[in-house]
Amino acid sequence: MDRQTFEADLRRDGYEIATNTTVGAKVNPEHSHPFDVRALVLDGALTLTSEGKTTTYRAGETFTMARGCLHSESYGPEGAVTLFGRKK
């Protein structure tokens, strides 16, 4: 999906929009968010683990997470830039 379309969809659906840049390797241990998430990886890759399933998302790929979803995140040496929307 392209960035403009993704941002337009987020706005239409009432999401707050932000960009997150993670430089280099990093691991965020299991946690949750008090909001729904929709995200588009713009550069690099990130790996999410939730409910025993691990998936890596690369540039151009999207994912969603419901508020309260327990997950961990990991980033390889290239890091990642992610455009995301959050909605309470």
> pLDDT of 73-83, one tens digit each?
999 999 999 99
Q: What is the DSSP string of 17-52?
A: EEEEEE-S-EEEEEE--SSEEEEEEEEEEEEEEETT
The conformation of residue 9, written as its DSSP 8-state character, comes to H
pLDDT at 49: 98
Q: Which domains does the chain have, with CATH numbers?
A: 3-87 (2.60.120.10)
pLDDT digits (tens, 9 = 90+) for 33-55: 999 999 999 999 999 999 999 99
- pLDDT of 1 > 90? The answer is no
Averaged pLDDT score across all residues of the chain: 97
pLDDT at 88: 92
C-alpha distance from residue 26 to each of 21, 46, 78, 80 (Å):
11, 10, 10, 10
pTM of the model: 0.93
What residues have CB less than 8 Å from 64, skipping those under 6 apart?
A: 36, 37, 38, 39
Instruction: Read off the amino acid at residue 30.
Output: E
- pLDDT of 11 > 90? The answer is yes
Mean pLDDT over 18-23 rounds to: 96
Residues pairing with 28 in the sheet: 73
